Amino acid sequence: MRHLRTAIAVLAAITALGACTVAHPGTPKAGPSTRNIEDELGNTKQSDLRKVFTSSPQQVNDYWNSDRMKNAKPRDTQPGSATDVPKDEPVGVVIHPTSGPVRSPKPQPADNSGAVWSRAGLSASTNGRLYTSYGNQNFVCSAQVVNSTSGTIVATAAHCIWDTQDGKEWADNVMFIPGDTNGSSPYGRWTAEMIYAPTQFTTGARSGAGGTSGSGWSYDSAFLRMRPLGGRTIKDAVGGQGIAFDAKADSIRTIGYPSAPPFDGTTMRSCSSPTYTENSRVTNTISIPCRMTPGCSGGGWFTHFDDSTGAGYMISSHSTGNGSTSNGSLMGKIAYDLYKRADSGA
């Protein structure tokens, strides 16, 4: 069973920053290797990792009229067969949020209800809904802006931008609305320039009537590179959450937009847990009690989260769930390599 490695070392590594490598956006990123990204990824072809959009922001905005947004279906990923994969290599890279504390606040309480979230501080502007289409079908997930050098990066789950059913295709018309409330866009409607998912996911994740299957679900993380809006990057406009790759969690808060009953997707909601369980069914994943339903997919799982400032460190996102338990894949070297590629636009 996978062991959550002490990259943050609970309080000390985020406060003292001595137990792990820390990448500060805006300065050169120290990391586990200075090799070329292409070498780190085993000479993986770029086309296998990303999709580049040719449609204009106006075309995407025109596509997402009020009816399509209202009727977009949540991505529904039910847990399925067990999978055993090699452990993802730790990198211990921590990137701080653009605002809020770097010290750990008190542990999160046990609350699996999916209650309306207070929308405090940074979470009000960085967390939002992600709209995508596949052919003539429209879907909605959750996502969040994370801090980056380029200021363009939104993090979500890979199954939100890659079809794991029969189509096996990238999403189209990808639009992110931070702070989405009742269909409003308080911070604008942002369109994706590129989307990135691990080849481990695109080649190894499947889903159907029997639930999920395949090794890809151990790597259900993705990054979006967003186009500027009004001459600003999305980070400059709304801020960015922290993100940690293969970090030790103390307690967890997850934020998303569940859309299936008894929820309707119109409000930002949350579960929290003082502990987590290492998932025995799918390697490289953890689980918490949470009643949120489909639509929360891609919503961030944050450790060292401060409820008063709405800032924390993303370590995972909602991947699969059954209405009582939520599962998320941990972000290690594979996710970090993908993040660096998205941040550089490679």
Per-residue pLDDT reduced to its tens digit, 286-329: 999 999 999 999 999 999 999 999 999 999 999 999 989 999 99
| Residue in the block written with tokens 């996911």 | 201
pLDDT grade for 167, boundaries at 50, 70 and 90: low
Which residues touch 109 (CB under 8 Å, ≥6 apart)?
A: 272, 274
pLDDT grade for 36, boundaries at 50, 70 and 90: very low
Which residues touch 317 (CB under 8 Å, ≥6 apart)?
A: 142, 155, 156, 157, 220, 221, 297, 298, 299, 300, 301, 328, 329
Rounded to whole angstroms, how far apart are CA atoms 289 and 118? 20
Paired tokens of 253: 């808060």
Rounded to whole angstroms, how far apart are CA atoms 161 and 169? 9
Is the pLDDT at 29 greater than 60, yes or no?
no
Q: What is the pLDDT of residue 13?
A: 44
3-state secondary structure the chain: CCCCCCCCCHHHHHHHCCCCEECCCCCCCCCCCCCCHHHHCCCCCHHHCEEECCCCHHHHHHHCCHHHHHHCEECCCCCCCCECCCCCCCCCEEECCCCCCCCCCCCCCCEEEEEECCCCHHHHHHEEEEEEEECCEEEEEEEEEECCCCCCEEEECHHHCECCCCCCCECEEEEEEECCECCECCCCCEEEEEEECCHHHHHHCEEECCEEECHHHHHCCEEEEECCECCECHHHHHCCEEEEECCCCCCEEEEECCCCCCCCCCCCEEEEECCCEECCCECCEEEEECCCCCCCCCCEEEEEEECCCCEEEEEEEEEEECCCEEEEECCCHHHHHHHHHHHHCC
Is the pLDDT at 264 greater than 70, yes or no?
yes
Of 179, 339, 150, nearest to 243 by C-alpha is 339
Is the pLDDT at 259 greater than 50, yes or no?
yes
- What percent of the chain lies above the pLDDT cut of 70? 83
Which residues touch 346 (CB under 8 Å, ≥6 apart)?
A: 37, 38, 46
What average pLDDT is seen over the chain? 85
Beta-strand relationship, 73-74 and 222-226: unpaired
Mean pLDDT: which of 71-80, 84-93, 112-121 is highest? 112-121
Higher pLDDT, 46 or 69: 69
pLDDT grade for 207, boundaries at 50, 70 and 90: confident
Higher pLDDT, 211 or 7: 211
Domains of the chain, first to last = 10-344 (2.40.10.120)
- For range 228-244, the mean pLDDT: 97
- For range 228-257, the mean pLDDT: 93
| Residue in the block written with tokens 């769930």 | 321
Is the pLDDT at 85 greater than 60, yes or no?
yes
- For range 71-87, the mean pLDDT: 77
Q: What is the pTM of this model?
A: 0.87
Higher pLDDT, 185 or 249: 185
Is the pLDDT at 4 greater than 50, yes or no?
no
| Residue in the block written with tokens 């596949």 | 134
Rounded to whole angstroms, how far apart are CA atoms 77 and 214? 13
